[in-house]
Structure 1
């Protein structure tokens, strides 16, 4: 079969990673994989793994994107995919208008993936109007049922995201060279108990909870808070605000912002505890899963996709949402008596790719 996936750009993030993973799985099984996007730094990897990339500016949230309807329709007629799989709202709208003028008998099957709990409005509703709607967790299934009741329950398919356990092996330890480089760059981290908050710098990630925790814990434990994640231009003001708070709280020796890192596996493995404290429910929580797979304990709010992962893999890490006192108690308990997680059995990448390809084949078989 031939599958065309559409997304805004190919730079970084869960949507992009999922696109590459499905492309790789399609090629491995002898199918044809095509991706349409505005391009980005992951394009060479995508092509190296056997997927063709077609560049089209389907990334802008503006009415000018409607000028891409005809070019996309031409691409679809030219490529004749069996499946068109949309992974984001702007590409979904452009695809919707592009398919309307293609005769039913020549039209590919349409599949969408709801990767996020988007703002609830007519613009977001487009993600629920495909033949099959993939939800990346049970929390997303509930979100669709609650906010888009027009979407038939029979159309929604829950397929968890997954990770490759070979890339995140249990009890993995970074190399001596990595540790040496780390201590050269950040000597303040040596011989410390590292409490890490991974993720891009945005107000949603709960950095304030980390600062308050470190402020309280440093009286009793040799802790250091690490923020792994960069700030894009729009978020630079918030990063400045956080760094000022560190100064105001006199935490300069106890908190380090390490910026965007490509060695996230090493940081998660080097950490004593990883936190997931987003102020909104996460749709899945891949970083939580990666840390647990490596054998690092994770503490997170009991909601959304993170709660689904923790319930199955490390229930000791669950905390009542937004309850700072319960969070402190939980972290204190785990620092005093460490409880490493057991090896992860669920949420494997192969399960995600097998279920997605099976869904493609099922939908094609319906015609």
Structure 2
């Protein structure tokens, strides 16, 4: 079987991580896995793990991108994949139009993955046009059916993003060398009740909501300290400055640490007391919260989207009403005094082997492979 995936780039992010995991897992199962993107720092690892990468800038929101439809069609004719898998909206439009221009008998099976709660419009509707539509959570399935009712319900398959039990399991702890380096870099974290908020620095991720939470905990004499893990992408500098101003205004500047982009999130989550999700809009899935739960670490999050689905299943006590920072602080104060019990392991369908097999099963629905 031969699969072509279209993504904007292989730089960083949740979609890219799923494509990386699919590439590794499919390659070990004898599937030829080809990723077409604008490139990025993840490409060497992608290729090392068995996938082929083809550089083609198909991710920019520009009319120039659509001049690549012909080139992509020619590429598909040369590769003759069994499946064309579209993971993001701009590449999905380019891919879909290239696919439509192929003779019907030469068209591969068309799969789309809905990785997020996209704005509802014709532009986003492309993600519902696959011959099979993969939703990364039950709430995403409901979103597709609600906003794009022309999508046949029997075309949708729910395949959650997943974790590797070899990498994320209760009892994992960072190496002594890692911990030494971590506390050398951030000595202010020693002995603190550390609250990890992973995610890029953007208003969507709710960094501003963490400020009153930290302030209330500190006022109660709890040595709370926020650990903000994520990069500030171009155009988001002013938002970060706004957060910094609010932190200073609240008088808790010494209770916040910014790490920027890190590739050792597993170790950071394991070293922190609690992982948080404060997204103002629902997350389609919430990979970092699942990883934290799998590592046996407490998670508290706003009760909506994919994070609510995880907490409902594994730690219902962690659900907090959206925007209720006072309730969040109260919960964390209780957990400081007595950490909650956690599940011993994250079961199916959140296991990465299940995710790979589920994708293969979808691909087989559209191909003669059995």
Question: Which TM-score tier does this pair reach, normalised by the shorter chain?
Answer: over 0.9
Tell me the alpha carbon deviations over residues 18-75 of structure 1, each in whole angstroms, 9 at most, x when there is no partner. Answer: 1121122221111211111111111111111111111111011111111100000000
Match of 2:308 in 1: 307
1:101 maps to which residue? 101
Q: Deviations over 1:269-316 (max 9, x none)?
A: 011111101000000000001111111100011110001111111111
Listed one character per residue, the Cα deviations across residues 108-139 of structure 1 (whole Å, up to 9, x for unaligned) are 11000000110100000011011000000001
Partner Cα distance (1:25, 1:290) in 2: 18
Query: Does residue 133 of the first structure (1) align with residue 133 of the second (2)?
Result: yes
Distance, in Å, in 1 between the alignment partners of 2:182 and 2:66 is 47
* 1:361 counterpart (335, 360, 364): 364
The structural deviation recorded for 1:106 is: 1.1
Deviation at 1:366, TM superposition (A): 9.4
Unaligned runs of 5+ in 1: none
For structure 1, which segment, 56-65 or 172-181, has the greater mean C-alpha deviation from structure 2 after superposition? Answer: 172-181
SS in 1 for 2:77: helix
- Asked if 2 retains the 8 angstrom alpha-carbon contact of 1:131 and 1:155, the reply is yes
Measure, in 1, the Cα distance between the counterparts of 2:345 and 2:144. 28
Q: Deviation per CA, 1:173-219, whole angstroms, max 9, x where unpaired? A: 11222222222211211111111111110001111221111111112
Query: What secondary structure is seen at the aligned counterpart in 2 of 1:258?
Result: strand
SS of match in other structure, 1:120: coil
Deviation of the 1:238 alpha carbon: 1.1
3-state SS in 1 of match to 2:282? coil
**Aligned alpha-carbon RMSD (Å):** 1.4
Give the match for residue 281 of structure 2: 280
Q: Are 1:349 and 2:365 an aligned pair?
A: no
Stretch deviating more after TM superposition (337-346 or 282-291): 337-346
Q: Which moved more, 1:279-288 or 1:346-355?
A: 346-355
CA contact (8 A) 1:313 1:344 kept: no
Q: Matched residue of 1:227: which SS?
A: strand
Q: What residue number does 1:231 align with?
A: 232
In 1, the alpha carbon distance for the partners of 2:323 and 2:368 equals 46
- Residue-by-residue CA offset, 1:121-166 (whole Å, 9 max, x unaligned): 0000011011000000001001101110111101111111101021
Q: Counterparts of 1:237 and 1:58 in 2: how far apart (Å)?
A: 28
2:70 paired with 1:86 = no
Does the 8 Å CA contact 1:174/1:266 hold for their aligned counterparts? Answer: yes
1:216 has 2:216 as partner: yes
Contact 2:116 2:140 in 1 (8 A): yes
Q: 2:268 maps to what in 1?
A: 267
Contact conserved, 1:268 with 1:291, CA < 8 A, in 2? yes
Aligned to 1:53: 53
Q: In structure 2, how many angstroms separate the alpha carbons of the residues matched to 1:246 and 1:263?
A: 26
Name the stretch that deviates more: 332-341 or 126-135: 332-341
Aligned residues: 367
Q: Is the Cα–Cα contact under 8 Å of residues 296 and 340 in structure 1 kept in the other structure? A: no
Task: Judge conservation of contact 1:81–1:108 (CA < 8 Å) in 2.
Answer: yes
Q: Residues of 1 paired with 2:25 and 2:259: CA distance?
A: 33
Whole-angstrom distance in 2 between the partners of 1:158 and 1:333: 35
1:299-338 aligned at under 5 Å gives the runs: 299-338=300-339
Gaps of 5+ in 2: none
How many angstroms apart in 2 are the aligned matches of 1:267 and 1:364?
A: 42
Moved more, 128-137 or 96-105: 96-105
In 1, the alpha carbon distance for the partners of 2:250 and 2:272 equals 23
Shift of 1:97: 1.4
Structure-2 residue corresponding to 1:17: 17
Distance 1:306 1:213 in 2: 19
TM-score (normalised: structure 1):
0.97
How far off its partner does 1:324 sit?
2.4
Displacement of 1:221 in angstroms is 1.0
2:298 corresponds to 1:297: yes
How much has 1:249 moved relative to structure 2?
A: 1.5
Deviations 1:207-251 (A, max 9, x none): 122111111111221211111112112111111121122222121
